[in-house]
Amino acid sequence: MDKTIKILVIIVLAMTAVILGWFIFSIVVGPYLAMQSARQSIDATKVGNAIQIQSVARAVNGQVTVYVQNVGDSTVQLANVFVNGELNSGATSTPAFGANLDTGATAVITLSGDYSTAAQLTIKVAAEDGTFIEYTKTFT
């Protein structure tokens, strides 16, 4: 009987250690897993957003026009355009910046400034949700 009690005590201690380990694991890792799950669901709402610069044209007077298409599966709102890393605050867009750009639709952005002597431009178009596209155009 003395040997049976020792075995039962070992089994009870082992079960206690497993339960305590599971409890500590759930307290430590549980909030992390919940945070990861929430982060994934937030990112999932953004996954379908995508824009693409279809073309960049420069007129004889140096005015540059950028054609941006919504190639994602949800509406986006264009926010800003950057040229060579600097905000082109005078740029205009049709539809206007901040307005909805439906799936498949193309926005026409006219940059402010004279780019007649530019050999190359790096253009970045950003949407309000953080979606962006960057494109480098070399003029010949």
Q: What is the pLDDT of residues 77-136, one digit of tens each?
A: 999 999 999 999 999 999 999 999 999 999 999 999 999 999 999 999 999 999 999 999
Angle at 115 between CA 111 and CA 119, to 5 degrees: 125
The pLDDT of residue 43: 47
The pLDDT of residue 38: 55
Q: Is the pLDDT of residue 36 over 90?
A: no
Q: Hey, where are the domains in the chain? A: 1-47, 51-138
Strands 132-138 and 51-58: unpaired
Q: State the average pLDDT over residues 66-72.
A: 96
Among 52, 49, 78, which Cα is nearest to 134's?
Answer: 52
Selected from 3.40.630.20, 2.60.40.10, 3.30.70.890, 1.10.630.10, the CATH number assigned to the domain covering 51-138 reads: 2.60.40.10
- Give the Å distances, CA to CA, from 73 to 23, 48, 68: 43, 5, 15
pTM comes to 0.67
Considering the chain, what is the average pLDDT of its residues? 88
